Structure 1
Amino acid sequence: MSDPAQSRYFAMVAVRFAGVALILLGILVVRRVLELPDAAGYLLLILGLAGFFVMPTVLARRWRSPKE
């Protein structure tokens, strides 16, 4: 994988998958499947949503080619 665009794309996809995993963990905590405080579940949900929706956009803007 020598193409930087391809590795950046895979990094953004990995960030989205991590966001989905955090969302699912948060749901499990809030539904009391996992024994953690509710605050931890809601925090995981918020972090997961930010990771899924916000972080790929931030990474894409950071990696954007400079305009000439």
Structure 2
Amino acid sequence: MPEPDTTARNRYFLMTGSRLVGVAGAMLGLVLIGRAVATEQKVIGVALVLAAMIFIAVVPSALARRWRTPPEL
């Protein structure tokens, strides 16, 4: 019996995992903002949240674009 192609499944899990990593980073940034005493700590938390939001928006779509099946001619 031939082995099933697991490439599509693995790519889906990688895109979903990248989204989860971004969400975890955003949550860490929110915790830093909430527990911050100094202004510098709040700035680091805000920067982490913004970077995580950009990561969530850009990385999965870039991976999908990279792995897109080329059009048949």
User: What is the TM-score normalised by the length of structure 1?
Assistant: 0.83
2:69 equivalent to 1:55: no
> How many aligned residue pairs are there?
68
Matches within 5 A, 1:1-68: 2-32=5-35, 37-68=41-72
**Structure 1: which 5+ runs fail to align?**
none
Distance 1:66 1:56 in 2: 18
**Contact 2:19-2:60 at 8 Å conserved across structures:** yes
C-alpha deviations, 1:1-49, integer Å up to 9, x for none?
A: 8411110000001000001100100101111269871221112101211
| Misfit runs of 4+, over 3 Å | 33-36
Q: State the superposition RMSD in angstroms.
A: 2.3
How far apart, CA to CA, are the structure 1 residues paired with 2:55 and 2:37? 21
Determine the C-alpha separation between the residues in 2 that align with 1:25 and 1:47.
Answer: 12
Structure with the greater alpha carbon radius of gyration: 2
Unaligned runs of 5+ in 2: none
Which TM-score applies when normalising by structure 2? 0.78
